Chains A and B, each alone.
Chain A
Amino acid sequence: MADAPSSISSRKGVPAAQAPGNPVRDVRGPIKRLYSSVRDGRGFDIVLVAFPLGFLFLMAGLPLLYNVLMSFQEVDMFSLGTLMRPFVGLKNYRDLFAQPETLPILANTAIFVAGSIAGQFLIGFGLALFFWVNFPGASWLRGLFLVSWVMPGLVVGAIWNWILSGDFGVLNFVLREGGVISGNIFWRSDPNYSLYAVILANIWLGTAFNMILLSVGLSAIPADLYEAAELDGANAWQRFWTITLPMMRSTIGAIIALGLIFTLQQFDLFAAITSGGPNNSSNVTQYWAWEQSFRQYDFAKGATISVLMIIFVMIASVVYVRSTRHEVRG
């Protein structure tokens, strides 16, 4: 490796030939020299960083900024093609909160997010602990659970439409035969149940993902910690509270944050199961934003709703980044 020292020094910004009386003779071929000048130069590092940054800015940053900008403008079908539209300040936000359906929809969103995450996490954790016992075939079965996660939301929605169907749905059948209900529940069209119908489907959709991540977290806990705790006198319940849960803290934080992001992105299930209805009883912000923009053609209102969501997702992202940074291992 004749060129190794010079390439290392030039990467650190130190001139290649340090001693003037003893110049380093460059014995490399011209192509190789060109190549290494590209690879070792400062500029190459910047190009490497610039590519993904540019991509992110173009594909995510600009639309995001455009969306924020639109939320402060008056937008109609005729000004849709222009960038500089009449600036209206916080009018869109004031209008939004003056609408009677806004607060119920925000409340729906909170219920949807909380219910989905709680269900996905608790069932996912339960399954992860169950498969952690490692009975024969455990890893196979655990892999099969991922089937639900790889299914497109619209397909899941279609399946749940059958399950939830008021007349012939299997859910009603089970509940009725089990003596839980006496008459059929029209899950998708009853305002009291429509939101929970979507939550149910979303829990089914997201549980497998939670389980896999939690399984990974569980398997990363060294077995001898449990043995040490056992010898220290801890029973199974105490071991769970004092070893498993604290050791899983960063995994749990990350999963909750990811769950928050994923549930706020959940659109397909609403489109497939209830379309936000009846009468907005199962509407949530992400579906509502789309409805405002592409059904009512009120693009400013749609953008305003999106900006509100950005704030929530940002908070979730901060939680996610922080919890993955504080990994406690070893």
Chain B
Amino acid sequence: MTKQIELSGVNKYYGAYHALKNINLSIEKGTFVALVGPSGCGKSTLLRSLAGLESISTGDLKIAGELMNKVPPRKRDIAMVFQSYALYPHMTVEQNLTYSLRIRGVAKAEAKKAAEEVAATTGLSHLLGRYPRELSGGQRQRVAMSRAIIRHPKAFLFDEPLSNLDAALRVHMRKEIRTLHDRLHATSVYVTHDQIEAMTMADHVVVMKDGVIEQQGAPLELYDRPANKFVAGFIGSPAMNFVPATVGEDGRSLAVDIGEKQTIALDRQLQPGRKVTAGLRPEHLHFVEPGQGVFRLPVGIVETTGSATYITTSTATEVTVVDTTRRPVGAGDVIDVSIRPADVHIFDAETGLRV
């Protein structure tokens, strides 16, 4: 495996504003990397820096082993799919696809052939003569991707490409982009604010916040072992419950404070009396017979999606429980739930780091 993109010690300043803080990231050739985080976390800035549309202030950026810090975008051999698609409105689909080839002086017949080949794989063959304004959102999206594919670039960059599509089409295009990636053995960097997109599509997920990489790794690694409270809360839906807790005197139990104190067992030894935050995923809280569970919780709000029911408690610290068994539960009921010790995530109360 060779490194296709390498960032080391990258910083980006806009005046006094520190947009990217010491970014270190290396992307293997052929992997699909998702940059995910809330708005303003720097993920788009990072992507645009890879493309060369923004310059990095300090640090090194290498693409295919070559230092790219000062190389203009047009010489980086990178293709980007924009959120707005950025199709050339005055050109037909075919002209949009062949633009990069024509700029490089590829012969007309050859460019046309390439456009037809790409269009055939992306289902655009019958639309080659149309203008972008005559296309639907999904079709425009496909043109934007085809325009990237036709170049065989060193890497594909995606800037929230699905955010303008409706929910059903988004799920469909998610698979299509992943299939395409696998077929082309491409290196892809995909920016999204949607953790589901990141989890389902990527081989490697990079979670960012305030210009810092909070954690990176395989999707399930982030889900199973979040490095801190932020990642734990960001990955997974519905979001993880955080409840204040204190380690018991034996160091093997946890006194959890959800309105009333409840004690759960720990599978590891911790310093007695330590203040921590317990992270309990809603899907890990399972129902038990009355009296058998560790939590007795009054029900506040019940939301039904069909496949699952989200039960939010009316305790001081709200806790969400996911039930997939269609248990008849209503507001005001009391439910008994339990959790396996291995499923309890523990974070330091002050730093938020995983314990």
Confirm or deny: B51 has a beta carbon within 8 angstroms of a beta carbon on chain A. yes
Q: Do residues A231 and B89 form an inter-chain contact, with CB atoms below 8 A?
A: no
Q: Do residues B53 and A233 form an inter-chain contact, with CB atoms below 8 A?
A: no
Confirm or deny: B218 has a beta carbon within 8 angstroms of a beta carbon on chain A. no
* Residue among B75, B78, B88, B100 with the highest chain A CB neighbour number at 10 A: B88
| Complex Cα–Cα for A235 and B86 (A) | 17
* B79 cross-chain contacts in A, Cβ below 8 A: 231-232
| Complex Cα–Cα for A84 and B103 (A) | 66
| Complex Cα–Cα for A230 and B52 (A) | 10
* A222-262 contact mask (Cβ, 8 Å, vs B): 1 or 0: 10110111111111001000110011010000000000000
* A214-228 contact mask (Cβ, 8 Å, vs B): 1 or 0: 000000001011011
* B120-134 contact mask (Cβ, 8 Å, vs A): 1 or 0: 000000000000110
* Residue among B75, B84, B89, B147 with the highest chain A CB neighbour number at 10 A: B89
Confirm or deny: B284 has a beta carbon within 8 angstroms of a beta carbon on chain A. no
CB-nearest residue of chain A to B150: A232
| Complex Cα–Cα for A328 and B131 (A) | 10
* A330 cross-chain contacts in B, Cβ below 8 A: 89, 132-133
* A224 cross-chain contacts in B, Cβ below 8 A: 82, 84, 86
* A246 cross-chain contacts in B, Cβ below 8 A: 90-91
Contact residues of B between 218 and 238, Cβ < 8 Å to A = none
Given the contacts A224-B84, A227-B53, A228-B82, A233 and B103 also touching, CB distance less than 8 Å: yes
| A interface majority secondary structure | helix
* B78 cross-chain contacts in A, Cβ below 8 A: 231
Q: Do residues B86 and A222 form an inter-chain contact, with CB atoms below 8 A?
A: yes
Q: Do residues B80 and A228 form an inter-chain contact, with CB atoms below 8 A?
A: yes
Confirm or deny: B70 has a beta carbon within 8 angstroms of a beta carbon on chain A. no
Number of B interface residues in the complex (CB < 8 A): 27
Confirm or deny: B268 has a beta carbon within 8 angstroms of a beta carbon on chain A. no
Given the contacts A242-B99, A246-B90, A328-B90, A233 and B74 also touching, CB distance less than 8 Å: yes
* A228 cross-chain contacts in B, Cβ below 8 A: 80, 82, 86-88, 147
Given the contacts A227-B53, A231-B80, A330-B133, A247 and B90 also touching, CB distance less than 8 Å: yes
Contact residues of B between 115 and 146, Cβ < 8 Å to A = 132-133
Confirm or deny: A329 has a beta carbon within 8 angstroms of a beta carbon on chain B. yes
Q: Do residues B53 and A230 form an inter-chain contact, with CB atoms below 8 A?
A: yes
Number of A interface residues in the complex (CB < 8 A): 21
Confirm or deny: B29 has a beta carbon within 8 angstroms of a beta carbon on chain A. no
> Nearest chain A CB to B157's CB is how many angstroms away?
8
Confirm or deny: B72 has a beta carbon within 8 angstroms of a beta carbon on chain A. yes
| Complex Cα–Cα for A225 and B132 (A) | 13
Given the contacts A230-B53, A232-B99, A328-B89, A222 and B74 also touching, CB distance less than 8 Å: no
Confirm or deny: B38 has a beta carbon within 8 angstroms of a beta carbon on chain A. no
* A234 cross-chain contacts in B, Cβ below 8 A: 74, 99, 103
Given the contacts A238-B103, A242-B99, A330-B133, A230 and B73 also touching, CB distance less than 8 Å: yes
Confirm or deny: B104 has a beta carbon within 8 angstroms of a beta carbon on chain A. yes
> Nearest chain B CB to A218's CB is how many angstroms away?
15
| Complex Cα–Cα for A231 and B76 (A) | 8
> Nearest chain B CB to A330's CB is how many angstroms away?
6
> Nearest chain A CB to B89's CB is how many angstroms away?
6
* Residue among A228, A230, A234, A243 with the highest chain B CB neighbour number at 10 A: A228
CB-nearest residue of chain A to B76: A231
Q: Do residues B74 and A329 form an inter-chain contact, with CB atoms below 8 A?
A: no
> Nearest chain A CB to B90's CB is how many angstroms away?
4
Confirm or deny: B151 has a beta carbon within 8 angstroms of a beta carbon on chain A. yes
Q: Do residues B53 and A222 form an inter-chain contact, with CB atoms below 8 A?
A: no
> Nearest chain A CB to B81's CB is how many angstroms away?
9
11 contacts between A and B (CB under 8 A): A225-B88, A227-B86, A228-B82, A228-B87, A228-B147, A230-B74, A232-B100, A232-B103, A233-B100, A235-B74, A246-B91
- Taking A228-B88, A231-B51, A246-B90 as given, write out 19 further A-B residue pairs in contact, using a Cβ cutoff of 8 Å, ordered by the A residue number: A222-B84, A222-B86, A227-B80, A229-B88, A229-B99, A230-B52, A231-B76, A231-B80, A232-B74, A232-B100, A233-B100, A234-B74, A234-B103, A238-B103, A246-B91, A328-B89, A328-B90, A330-B89, A330-B133
| Closest A-B pairs by Cβ, 3 of them | A232-B100, A228-B86, A224-B86
